[in-house]
Structure 1
């Protein structure tokens, strides 16, 4: 059976909707280039998040504590380091700035201050995620056939974006990916290794279309499947370009 790459998603800002890409570059040092570069934090957090400081200590915002973020998409241009913020499904940006400058980051932060409000908890600020918030050398993958089986138990359709995975594959059997632990694969010009399960978290409870919580997906997974694995984390062993339609093939020497 042929297994192909159905979609590539990257999240320039943690918690916002995905930037859908036709092709992308994977790196052993940075995983999917441009993924989860930035986060939002309330309070006195600076622009750079120190490696030794935990996300909880910085009041980092994500879908688990701020579902309104699902209303927005972040698009990032690698060449110009320009960040665009768009309302989901629209093309005209609500805000745009170069985030390699203090002024640009300040403009983006001000947009989120207006969008989210509630300054009593501190103004939201754009911070560089660095390695404290997201491992730098892996990408996440879900099997769309497995999601169909979750829909069967949930008795409702579930947008794959709930699971916030970088790569969506089609053509595999349901739950086949649970047998891939430790296996290596070719994808485009890259080589990947399945290293650990991708666990369902509370962020999946947020409907990405409505920006509202409408299900307890981790609880449903535990009751229906006796686990919360919704995909895989894969380490990038050899970097390269990937594109939609590429085959995921077992690695051979």
Structure 2
């Protein structure tokens, strides 16, 4: 399938701490063979995590994640990549700033997150960073691309407006037919100055049922996807094959 005409970047989002904060940005500079910039730089391991020393990439089950706590999905973020600082907000927590690479701030971050993590799960224990490796759910550097039209169609099927932040995507494209992105596997697309190759669909989990404004499970997105399309895929992963600047409103071709 050829790339649908008329697509534009509607939103760019990064998540400096895995599963703990989303941050819309106006632009980003993609690097060949790298994940989205300043995305999943840190992750918070729980007390039962099995990690190497020094840490390397590890599966998501070793970390705090939205599947385990809907409350985490309501964390929003502002960050300063150069300073290595993040400011986190939540409806039921005070807004605070952290430099996760600083041991004292890492301990404060864990304390800040602890009330948002279920008491019956292994407690937050350690902030992890792996230089040069994004702590995404995949052990390879991929960027996630989602369609605003697909979100609108799913919202209409469910009878409610769904926030894009339920899906923790990096790039949102408007102007494509709904779910057309799933037909682009193996195709190359150009966004702004960058070029990406679409690699695979994104299989979703129950974390998408959590409302990012309230931190409450209030929508059965998994059942809606299965009922409408016969699968739980939503969005696609792509690999950066030529780096460059991308920005909101850039054409996708």
Same fold, TM exceeding 0.5? yes
Give me the whole-angstrom Cα distance separating, in 2, the residues matched to 1:211 and 1:114: 12
Q: Which residue in the other structure is 1:107 paired with?
A: 108
Give me the whole-angstrom Cα distance separating, in 2, the residues matched to 1:179 and 1:119: 41
Q: Which residue in the other structure is 1:8 paired with?
A: 12
Q: Which residue in the other structure is 2:252 paired with?
A: 248
Q: Which residue in the other structure is 2:222 paired with?
A: 218
Structure 1 range deviating more: 69-78 or 201-210: 69-78
TM-score w.r.t. length of structure 1: 0.85
Runs of 4+ in structure 1 over 6 Å off: 46-49
2:47 equivalent among 43, 46, 62:
43
Match runs of 1:224-235 below 5 Å:
224-235=228-239
Per-residue CA deviations over 1:153-202 (Å, capped at 9, x if unaligned) read 22222112111111111111122212211111111111101110122221
Paired residues in the alignment total: 244
CA-based RMSD of the aligned residues comes to 2.6
Quick check: 1:84 aligned with 2:87?
Answer: yes
Q: Which residue in the other structure is 2:64 paired with?
A: 61
2:191 equivalent among 177, 181, 187:
187
Structure 1 range deviating more: 191-200 or 133-142: 133-142
Q: In the superposition, relative to structure 1, how do residues 13 and 219 fare at CA in structure 2: closer, same or farther (>3 Å)?
A: same
Q: Contact 2:48 / 2:122 at 8 angstroms: preserved in 1?
A: no
Which runs of no fewer than 5 residues in structure 2 stay unpaired? none
SS state at 1:208 partner: coil
Which runs of no fewer than 5 residues in structure 1 stay unpaired? none
SS state at 2:160 partner: coil
SS state at 2:190 partner: strand
Give me the whole-angstrom Cα distance separating, in 2, the residues matched to 1:120 and 1:210: 21
Per-residue CA deviations over 1:181-232 (Å, capped at 9, x if unaligned) read 1111111111101110122221111111121111221122112211222111
Q: Which residue in the other structure is 2:181 paired with?
A: 177
Shift of 1:49: 7.1
SS state at 1:32 partner: coil
Q: In the superposition, relative to structure 1, how do residues 78 and 85 fare at CA in structure 2: closer, same or farther (>3 Å)?
A: same
TM-score w.r.t. length of structure 2: 0.85
Match runs of 1:119-198 below 5 Å:
121-128=122-129, 130=133, 133-135=136-138, 136-198=140-202
Give me the whole-angstrom Cα distance separating, in 1, the residues matched to 2:53 and 2:68: 21
Q: In the superposition, relative to structure 1, how do residues 240 and 10 fare at CA in structure 2: closer, same or farther (>3 Å)?
A: same
Give me the whole-angstrom Cα distance separating, in 2, the residues matched to 1:117 and 1:216: 20
Q: Contact 2:11 / 2:171 at 8 angstroms: preserved in 1?
A: yes
SS state at 1:212 partner: coil
